[in-house]
Amino acid sequence: MYSYLDELEAKSIYIIREAYHSYRDRLAVLVSWGKDSTTLLYLVRKAFFGEVPIPVVHIDTSYKFREIYEFRDKLAKEWRLKLIIARNEEALRQGMNPSMGKFECCTALKTQALRQAIERYGFKALLLAIRRDEHGIRAKERYFSWRDKDFKWDYINQPPELWEQFNQVEDAETHMRIHPMLHWREIDIWRYIKREGIPVVPLYFSGTKKPGYRYRSIGCETCCVPVQSDADTIDKIIKEIETTKIPERAGRAQDKERAYMMQKLRALGYM
């Protein structure tokens, strides 16, 4: 008997291979080195029998945790990744930081940095590890979801998507977002990490930064708040998520500075 995790895995690998079939060397995978994108990278390795044949793009705001940079460099070596580090140097030189407004900071250092990287390297499609259960706006996504020539997401006019058949528009002015893990939930990720022995950034474990606290969702050090937790092993994290009432992204500032902020960020091309 197979477990439901095998179903999730098989579907993700199928989508990754569909993406690679359609875009080949114009495809890249976008990672933040959190548990989801690390799992996505691992699934890419599975899809291609241990190799990662596409570039791995890290949008670096320069405000990430030290632990993330260390984890990135270690994994890049171990998994032989073709790593591209993308930063909006112009905005950083001008001193962009979260105190200038979280919406503005995320847009400049993430959305714009991504836009620059796509232009520089000529990518037509990106694999991203977003999941429906993370946020109400991400729940509205499709597996294949394009951004228009202004980099925008037209969430009101998305075409139908069914039976693992995906829309593909060969319009030169768009890029495709592909979400192979849209159907995974937070609990599935942790159960899968446990089963497969996938490495994760130590920030997820209680006590790494502060006794009695752990990060449940990680991004920039400036905009992440840890949650109270004694979970210092994967088993304890799984147990905690099975019972908690606190949402995964509770500690993420960009979701809540203003009403509908995530929707507005994503409409502009945020991840």
Partner 1 sequence: MSGLNIVIVGHVDHGKSTLIGRLLYDTGSVPEEKLKEIENTCAMLGHKMEFSYVADALEEERKKEMTIETTQTFFKSSKRDYTIIDAPGHKEFLKNMVTGASQAEASILIVDVTRGAEEQTMRHAYILKLLGIDRVILAVNKMDLINYDKEKYTRVARQCEKYLRAIGITLQHMIPVSAYNGDNIVKPSQRMNWYKGPTILEALDSLDVIRMEYDFRLPVQDHYTINGDRVYVGNILSGCISRRSEVTVYPGGENAVVKEILTFEGRLEKACRPKAIGLILSGFSPKRGDIIARGGRPTVAKNVRSTILCLIGEVRENESYLFRCTTQEVKCKVRRIEDKVDVETLERLPSTGVLKQAEIGTVYIEFEHPVVLEKVIVLPELGRFVLLKNGIIVAGGIYYG
Least Cβ distance, residue 229 to partner 1 (angstroms) = 15
96-114 per-residue burial string, b: 16 or more CB within 10 A, e: under 16: bbbeeebbebbbbbbbbbb
The least distance separating partner 1 from the CB of residue 86, rounded to whole angstroms, comes to: 28
Q: Where are the beta strands (DSSP E) in 95-253?
A: 125-127, 144-147, 175-178, 213-214, 227-228
Q: How many angstroms separate the CA atoms of 174 and 92, rounded?
A: 26
Based on CB atoms, which residue is closest to partner 1, 142 or 209? 142
- Spell 239-249 as b/e; 16+ CB within 10 A means b: ebbeeeeebbb
| Contact footprint for partner 1 (CB under 8 A) | 2-4, 6-7, 9-11, 13-14, 17-18, 20-21, 45-50, 132-133, 135-137, 139-140, 142, 155-156, 158-165, 167-170, 183, 185, 187, 191, 245-247, 250, 256, 259-260, 263
Smallest separation, CB 147 to partner 1 (Å): 15
Residue nearer to partner 1 on the CB measure, 222 or 263: 263
Direct distance between the N- and C-terminal alpha carbons of the chain, in angstroms, rounded to an integer: 36
Provide, rounded to whole angstroms, the least separation between the CB of residue 185 and partner 1.
6
- 11 or 236: whose CB is closer to partner 1? 11
Task: Please give the Cα distance from 32 to 27 (Å, whole number).
Answer: 17
